[in-house]
Amino acid sequence: MRDPVLGDVRLSPCVAAPQHIPGVLRAFGDQHAPARRWIVVAIDEMAIKLWFARKGRAPKKFADADRDLERLESATRNSLSLWREASPYYAALLRAIVLMVPPQDRRNHSFTFNSIDPGSTLAKLLPAIQALRTPEIYSRAFSQPPNSRKSLQRALLWEPLPPHLKPPQAPKASSTRSCRPN
């Protein structure tokens, strides 16, 4: 598709069969050029979301992962409290790092003192672990749809489509009774 201002629409490599795009556009009916461009961009975004969701599947179901995350949260909380108790030893730990290097090599050795303090890292990590223990955040962190019982294709490709493009469904049997006079 060519736009005089924006140029050609370049599809991401996540679109597996770009040759089907014209057929999809025909299903939308007659549209003016900017609307067709918007539709192609929306299809491309849906393909990217599906690619990320397939690639970023969660390693475990939420219930199993929550047990692991609970242990990790507890260990992080314990490590953080232990580090805060040991903070008087911080200066001695820095000196110990220097003393571990032989005296003749100290001048040429590069010391990284900022990496010794895990307190700030653990303090930042703890709320992230707590957030990951909620099912919504867990699924979103792995680019999964919020309701994990649906297939990725259904949740990311079919449901965002307008109603006239969705596949037809069998009509539901009605439970209304006929009101015939007796």
Give the sign of the dihedral formed by CA 27, CA 32, CA 35, CA 36: positive
Residue range 104-138, pLDDT digits in tens: 888 887 776 666 677 788 888 999 999 999 998 98
> Does residue 68 share a domain with residue 14?
no
Token pair, residue 42, equals 């929306």
> Does residue 70 share a domain with residue 11?
no
> Does residue 121 share a domain with residue 73?
yes
Q: What is the pTM of this model?
A: 0.59
Residue range 19-40, pLDDT digits in tens: 877 887 787 778 787 777 888 8
Q: Which domain holds residue 133?
A: 62-141
Residue range 61-92, pLDDT digits in tens: 888 999 999 999 999 999 999 988 888 888 78
Q: What is the separation of C-alpha 11 from the centre of its chain, rounded to a whole number of angstroms?
A: 21
DSSP 180: -
> Does residue 48 share a domain with residue 93?
no
Residue among 52, 3, 47 nearest 21 (CA)? 47
Asked if residue 181 belongs to a domain, the reply is no
Contact 93, 116 (CB under 8 A): yes
Per-residue pLDDT averaged across 154-162, rounded?
70
Which residue in the block uniquely carries the two structure tokens 């439970």? 175
Q: What is the tally of structural domains in the chain?
A: 2
